[in-house]
Amino acid sequence: MKDRFKAMLVTKDGTTQNVGEVELGRDDLMEGDVTVEVSHSTVNYKDGLVLTGRSPVVRKFPMIPGIDFAGTVETSKSAKFKPGDKVLLNGFGLSETHYGGYSELARVKSEWLVPLPAAFSAAEAMAIGTAGYTSMLCILALEDAGLSPEKGPVLVTGASGGVGSVAVAILARLGYRVIASTGRIEEEAYLKGLGAAEIIPRNELGGDPRPLSKERWAGVVDSVGSKTLANAIASTQYGGAVAACGLAQGLDLPASVAPFILRGVSLLGVESVYMEMPRRLRAWERLARDLDVKQLAAMTHTIGFRDVRQAADDILAGKVRGRTVVEIAR
C-alpha cells in the first residue's frame, strides 16, 4: 500500500490555469469510503476542456482531472465492495468538484462505482469510457422513444469522435443502417469498418438550418450541437427521435419548432454525469452485450500518463479518431 502517488493537478493563479504532474500523499485525497488503485483512464472531449481551461468545467481548485477511471479496490469501508474488486467510474463530478482519474489513487463514494463487467478488461472499459457509455445512453433513449431498425436509418454526427465511433459500431451491430457525418472524410474506410453504410461531410449539416428539410433519417445520435443538431432535427422523419449529448460545435440551437409540431419529432436530452445507477448499470450491461470488442480495439489508441496534455489539445482540435485510453503506470 503506497503512501505517495503521482497525479496530474490543475491549479489556478488568478486567471491563469496550470497543469502539471505532482506527487501527493493519502491525506491529500478527498472524502469517500472506497480507495481505488487506478490503472486506466481516458481522454474525452470534456477532459480536453478541463486540461486546456477552454471552458470553466472545474469548479474547485486544485483539481485532479479525468472524468472517468477503472481500477482495483484497495481499501473499502463499504459492504458493496471489497479489496481486489474491479470497478469503474464515470462522472459524478470527477474533475469538476471531486478528484478524478489522472492519478494512481482515487478515493470516492461507493455509490458512484460500477462493478467492472466481466466482458471487459479495465483497459477495454476505458476504451469505452464516458464517451461510449454516453453513446449507449443515447441509444437507450432512442429505443425508449420507439426507434427500431425497420423504422429507418440513423444519423450519427461527429462520427469519427469517441461518442460517434461507439454509436456507429453499436447501431450497425443492432441492424440499423447508419449514416455517419464527419469533418474528416479521410476516415471513410475507418467508419465503414465500424459498420457505417453511408458517409456525409460535416459541412452538409453545418450551415444555416432550414425550418424543415427532406426527411432522411428516423433517428439521430448527436454530439455536436448548434447548427448541426438543428439541421439533423430538420431532416428527421415523421415520428422520429433525436438524442442530443454534446456541444462540440456550440451550445446554441438555432432550430425551428416546425419538426416538433408538424412531424412529431422528439428531442431527447442525454445527460451522463449524474445518471441514476439502475440506468447506468443497464447501459454497461448493454455495452457488454452489443459492442464488439474487436471493433473497440480498432477505434482505440493508448497513451501514457505524460501524454495526456497533448491529447487534450488534439481532441479539441478534432485530430483524435475514436477513443484514447490513458495507461496510468505508463
Tens digits of residue pLDDT in 143-170:
999 999 999 999 999 999 999 999 999 9
Give the CATH architecture of domain 4-116+299-327.
Alpha-Beta Complex (3.90)
Quick one: what percent of the chain has pLDDT higher than 70? Answer: 100
pLDDT at 281 over 90: yes
Nearest to 166 by CA among 206, 119, 126, 226: 126
What is the rounded average pLDDT of the residues 60-86? 97
129-269: which CATH topology? Rossmann fold (3.40.50)
DSSP string, 152-209: --EEESSTTSHHHHHHHHHHHHTT--EEEEES-GGGHHHHHHHT-SEEEETHHHHSPP
pLDDT of residue 193: 96
Contact 127, 135 (CB under 8 A): no
Most confident of 56-60, 283-287, 294-298: 283-287
Q: Give the model's pLDDT for residue 15.
A: 83
Domains of the chain, residue spans:
4-116+299-327, 129-269
**pLDDT of res. 56:** 86
Q: How high is the pLDDT of residue 14?
A: 84
Task: Tell me the average pLDDT across 132-146.
Answer: 98
Lowest mean pLDDT among 25-29, 216-220, 260-264, 316-320: 316-320
- Is there a shared CATH topology between the 4-116+299-327 domain and the 129-269 domain? no
Q: How does the average pLDDT of the chain come out, rounded? A: 96
Q: What is the mean pLDDT of residues 183-204?
A: 95
- pLDDT tens digits, one per residue of 208-217: 999 999 999 9
**Average pLDDT of span 271-293:** 97
Determine the pLDDT at residue 1: 77
